[in-house]
Structure 1
């Protein structure tokens, strides 16, 4: 395995920009805008330079690098605390039940309510893997490296974690949810709003949208049918989140109607099952394929490695992975099962 995860740096700007152009729109955490991407890298640099503990509003951009070629082929992000500098709005899908004695009927009305329930959560997002690299479990490496980063910097994150999945976008690049709801209040198409949102955030939607609950029966059929549905390309990501321990409690994005998955950090499978070990030897072949990480802040690295538990209580890693991580016998690292 020549691929490894590391924290991003300023020199990754061009590669991130090229990947952003491949996302196909609606990917607000990875906009094809150099200024926005440069700001993300600057925030990452500031977060990695902070030595103190405690939860602050920070962003960590990570990248997947091929050690043999030096090419960056994927990326993901961690927002340590959303909603600190401006409200973090979501729609919460609920049901209002009413009974008419005269008609002897019960009516159940589905409603979207604008809420800030998820303020203060850690958010994982911005996951993108180059189309030519979607094999060998690299998507899992991208996703799960974030959880190991959080585990090994636990004091910098809270208790709850969320992941917003991109909503359904039609073949023309439009959003049925936007057209049926928010688009009626703004004089712009989804594509125009998407570009503005990627650069400036979706606060403009929250500021101008009505704060009263919206009955879904009043929306178009096309808008109603995609509420809480992930983009077809995001279904695998949704399954990965569910396997990790995220649930779908009915929160949806106010922009494209995609689902927001919610979990508890310490209960996530990767974090709960990870353990620290001491490298006592290296070997050439054999062992169980594990997710292995080492280093803090800017020195963080994560890759797949083949591990063998030894009778001395330590662990042996395959030589190539140990070298990739810069590990020497006697040093401590973290590992988690690949599955």
Structure 2
């Protein structure tokens, strides 16, 4: 059984392995042991802290295979981005160049540097090891976050976003960044990716063009990938779109991948998950659900075959499932139908 739980200090070696596997462009899992240790420490503090409203908290979770003890994936939420360091995006806008006298009307798309998402919650660090990319593991990693949000709304902002990984080749070269590099930065994409992963973002403010960029001036290759996702990110995007997330004209400043957003109350899994009382026994007429306890520091979530009674507001769990979720009869769980 796969169980989602908060990360802990002893997970560092396996987290570092996943950082290596994730490759260039996955900035939230940098291949740097000290930085990953800080991420773990920050997450442990965030899960254990009493919180009244979203702030500088980061909730990093892992998927553990209980049969082997292996960590096979990660999933995270940043409670409020941009509160301690600027959070940048490009906004895709339009400018009209018109001259009635000459009979000229040109609509031109632009990219404008933005901090518009400051203070929103961010879904991030979703990674699943290659051998496990089948069955329900990906959906569990993605959607378990919404059960945590539904139960503990005060910890998160009203708007939730996710930055989708943009297009890059097997060597980590981004067509979009190649144009920016040529004209403004003189630093290749893997280096920028590495610096960003280390939390070094000062160069963005120092070198990023301050005025809108006319998209028509970009190379054809750069224009083509604006708002497009990396092929390995497409399943994650489709999952979020089914939850109600949509693009609103914002892209990543490095690889031009789209940012998607949704008000927290409109996220399908937040809206549809049920809060039920635990009964332990042999489920009858069972179906598969994502089930989580309602703890913060001891959060657990898994995919399980259970029985649900809407009439009696009960969820019948087997002993194994109850043990995996650290719940007993009479406790409350959140359940979400697959």
Secondary structure of the residue aligned to 2:281 is strand
What is the deviation of 1:327?
2.2
What is the deviation of 1:97?
2.1
- Partner in structure 2 of residue 141 of structure 1: 140
C-alpha contact (below 8 Å) 2:277/2:332 kept by paired residues: yes
> 1: distance between equivalents of 2:85 and 2:331?
42
- Partner in structure 1 of residue 195 of structure 2: 196
What is the deviation of 1:284?
5.5
What is the deviation of 1:315?
2.2
C-alpha contact (below 8 Å) 1:141/1:303 kept by paired residues: yes
Q: Cα RMSD over matched residues?
A: 1.5
1:72-111 pair list within 5 angstroms? 72-111=71-110
> 2: distance between equivalents of 1:312 and 1:103?
73
What is the deviation of 1:105?
3.1
- Partner in structure 1 of residue 336 of structure 2: 336
> 1: distance between equivalents of 2:228 and 2:202?
22
1:3-18 pair list within 5 angstroms? 3-18=2-17
> 2: distance between equivalents of 1:150 and 1:100?
51
Secondary structure of the residue aligned to 1:185 is helix
C-alpha contact (below 8 Å) 1:111/1:213 kept by paired residues: yes
C-alpha contact (below 8 Å) 1:82/1:123 kept by paired residues: yes
- Partner in structure 2 of residue 173 of structure 1: 172
Secondary structure of the residue aligned to 1:149 is helix
TM-score (normalised: structure 2) = 0.95
Instruction: List alignment gaps of at least 5 residues for structure 2.
Output: none
- Partner in structure 1 of residue 271 of structure 2: 272
Secondary structure of the residue aligned to 2:72 is strand
> 2: distance between equivalents of 1:326 and 1:86?
37
> 1: distance between equivalents of 2:120 and 2:268?
18
- Partner in structure 1 of residue 32 of structure 2: 33
> 2: distance between equivalents of 1:289 and 1:183?
51
What is the deviation of 1:132?
0.3
What is the deviation of 1:136?
1.2
- Partner in structure 2 of residue 226 of structure 1: 225
- Partner in structure 2 of residue 327 of structure 1: 327
> 2: distance between equivalents of 1:207 and 1:228?
25
What is the deviation of 1:286?
4.5
> 2: distance between equivalents of 1:320 and 1:286?
18
- Over 3 Å counting, the alpha-carbon distance change for 1:318 and 1:188 in structure 2 is same
> 2: distance between equivalents of 1:80 and 1:29?
15
What is the deviation of 1:285?
6.2
Out of 223-232 and 183-192, give the one that drifted further: 183-192
> 2: distance between equivalents of 1:101 and 1:164?
41
Equivalent residue pairs, number: 337
C-alpha contact (below 8 Å) 1:6/1:301 kept by paired residues: yes
Listed one character per residue, the Cα deviations across residues 275-299 of structure 1 (whole Å, up to 9, x for unaligned) are: 1101123215650111100042220
